[in-house]
Structure 1
């Protein structure tokens, strides 16, 4: 059994009514079950590529973070580095728990990549995470400095023309050119998914969003 819905989310300083889309596998009303909440990566990847994890527990909750997927898009905030910050997404997560009636129930959280960074940020505040039972970090960098160093090393192993396209995009902050899109495709085929054919249906939405999302590029 799976149900979908949207949780209203009031964001300070903007007039746009915001909503967080969610999908629940299992019986949310059964208080004997400890929910497992899945936090997707990206930023802006969306939930789809993680859906196979719904079998990990008998109560699993997925959601799309603000600005991507089925949740409220905010194109008026494109490029706003002061808006797209981790604290915004921490407040969104707490708001989702309140809306679903989970604020006082034991919780398990699994975060992948950026979602793991968000989960760590959320859990680091005792007033938010007093009922956290398990924190599961999946493919999460230990530090941004080390993560960037690793990406640079990976980039150096790509073909010369791909490296040049990526370096040009980073310097010019221009991520819409065909050269950049093709370079990112090569990177993804070598380091994000080895599936054949590429991409498989589950990861295609995430790749598309991260390639085109201004929120992703801003963060």
Structure 2
């Protein structure tokens, strides 16, 4: 069984909670896992700890404002920026002493953050896995609304009514939203505990999710609504693995610009999955990711 260590990294006057599974000092570049949201927690990507069985340490953390890290419900839209979370990641890498050699796995918003990180060409980044992510929020919303239009008519009507009235926190809206989630977010029903824990955490403190995203996956009215990395992706100089699900809200049309613009890229679509192949097809997903990381660590790779 891998060793597990939890602690907090000081980040300005706040702190970032993290957990390391495995031995950071064994000479193999660790995998740093960036969770989604923005506003989720590490819980729903907990399965990535499986990679530690291959002898590679895995670092999970809760981004600022979420989970076991410092919560700041009083902070407004000017505070919660992409730059903030990039700075937090850099701070954590330095704190753990791994900034000179590491891999990144970013899921959904985590992949957006990971791509922004890689565009900066940090010297220690060995490779990047972008899982179930959009390179553009406009593209994401366009496709999410196409998928939403395939929901039962009564569900669509409920969603529209509450969005127009600004009553998206009601139980009825949440229930209608679940119909979309069960098709395009996580097709394992009932929802696995680790996924449910993350959704409960957003419910308990929706500050980051509501500010940056909005009330749901397809009603994006937050500060990220115009975000895009299209046109900048050619600056990514490390090998990239793209992962998505056949039923994913990150549809092939959404993911395509990553495949078109990143110089060294490969893409796997999991046929039985939606937005969480790491949960829905766990074993196959871990095998793919572990193999990709091992390939990058072979002698001769820069």
TM-score by length of 2: 0.65
Tell me whether 1:82 sits opposite 2:82 in the alignment.
no
Tell me whether 1:25 sits opposite 2:17 in the alignment.
no
User: Quick one: which of 111, 115, 120 aligns to 2:115?
Assistant: 120
> Contact 1:181–1:211 (CA<8 Å) still a contact in 2?
no
Q: Which residue of 2 aligns with 1:70?
A: 68
TM-score by length of 1: 0.88
Provide the secondary structure at the position in 1 that maps to 2:197. Answer: helix
Q: Distance in 1 between matches of 2:91 and 2:166?
A: 33
Provide the secondary structure at the position in 2 that maps to 1:203. Answer: helix
Q: Distance in 2 between matches of 1:167 and 1:210?
A: 22
- The aligned length equals 206
Over aligned residue pairs, what C-alpha RMSD do you find? Answer: 1.6
Tell me whether 1:99 sits opposite 2:95 in the alignment.
yes
Unaligned 5+ segments in structure 2 are: 213-302
Q: Which residue of 1 aligns with 2:11?
A: 9
Quote how far apart the aligned CAs of 1:211 are: 4.5
Unaligned 5+ segments in structure 1 are: 11-16
Q: Distance in 1 between matches of 2:116 and 2:165?
A: 31
Q: Which has the higher contact order (CA 8 A, sep 6+)?
A: 1
Q: Which residue of 2 aligns with 1:14?
A: none
Provide the secondary structure at the position in 1 that maps to 2:106. Answer: strand
Q: Distance in 1 between matches of 2:88 and 2:135?
A: 23
Q: Distance in 1 between matches of 2:5 and 2:63?
A: 17
Residues 151 and 210 (structure 1), Cα distance of their counterparts in 2 relative to 1, 3 Å cut:
farther
> Contact 1:45–1:205 (CA<8 Å) still a contact in 2?
no
> Contact 2:65–2:207 (CA<8 Å) still a contact in 1?
no
